Every structure is written in C-alpha cells, then in structure tokens.
C-alpha cells in the first residue's frame, strides 16, 4: 500500500471521527433530534393537501423517517413556493455542475486515470 493511499485513509478516518464528534456533542444537544422528529411528525406538505405520512421508501424505519423529514425540507425548493430559496438552489446547482464537469474533464486526462488525487 502506497503512502498516499495510507494518508487518504487516515484523513477519511479523521473526518469520520470529527463528524461523529460534532453530531453527538454539538448538534444533538442543540435540538437536532427534536427538530427532525417534529418534521417527521408532520403529515401534509406545506401549502398543499398532499399527505406524506408514513411513506415507505426502503423498509428501514430510521431511514424512512429521515427521508420523510427531508420531504418537508426540500418541498419549498421543488414546488417554487419560496422564490429566494429556489433561486439560490438553482445557482448552487449551476455552480456544482460546472465544478463537476471540470473534475470529470480532469479525470479523463491520461496522467490522472486511476488516481484519487490529481
């Protein structure tokens, strides 16, 4: 195993540890779990009569609860009820796609094939 592969593995392990630490020591005490539960408890999407209570996506209860909570988060963006949020999301998508295209072009260069870091 090369040194660069080992460094990348250690960096990813460190990022995972940082994410777990921030999730359990910062976000949970500030009410993240309660707000996700409140989102998941809602049954009708904002400004509609569409009921999404108890939708099953994958059959795993915890993942289905998170996906149902995310319905309420992303609904104003997809439904055009919040024009500022919709414009910002379109700007983000445009910037993301431009950077993704650049990454894909760089990955196709013969010197970068099969490498994680170019």
pLDDT in tens, 42-77: 777 777 787 777 778 888 887 887 787 777 777 777
Give CA–CA dist 42/67, Å, rounded. Answer: 13
E strand or H helix at 13: helix 3-22
Q: Distance (Å, rounded) from C-alpha 41 to C-alpha 34?
A: 10
Sign (positive/negative) of CA torsion 32, 36, 41, 47?
A: positive
Total-model pTM: 0.45
- Given a cut of 80, whether residue 97 has pLDDT beyond it is yes
In the chain, the largest separation of any two C-alpha atoms, in whole Å, equals 57
Mean pLDDT, the chain, integer = 80
Domain boundaries, the chain: 1-30, 33-81, 82-112
Is the model's pLDDT at 39 over the cut of 70?
Answer: no
> Among residues of the chain, what percentage have pLDDT more than 70?
91
């Amino acid at each position: 195993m090369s040194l660069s592969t080992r460094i990348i593995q250690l960096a990813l392990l460190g990022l995972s540890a940082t994410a777990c630490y921030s999730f359990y020591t910062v976000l949970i005490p500030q009410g993240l779990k309660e707000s996700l539960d409140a989102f998941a408890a809602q049954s009708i999407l904002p400004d509609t009569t569409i009921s999404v209570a108890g939708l099953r996506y994958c059959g795993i209860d915890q993942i289905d609860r998170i996906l149902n909570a995310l319905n309420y988060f992303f609904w104003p963006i997809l439904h055009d009820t919040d024009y500022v949020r919709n414009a910002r999301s379109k700007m983000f998508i445009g910037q993301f796609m431009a950077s993704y295209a650049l990454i894909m072009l760089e990955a196709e260069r013969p010197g970068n094939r099969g490498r994680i870091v170019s």
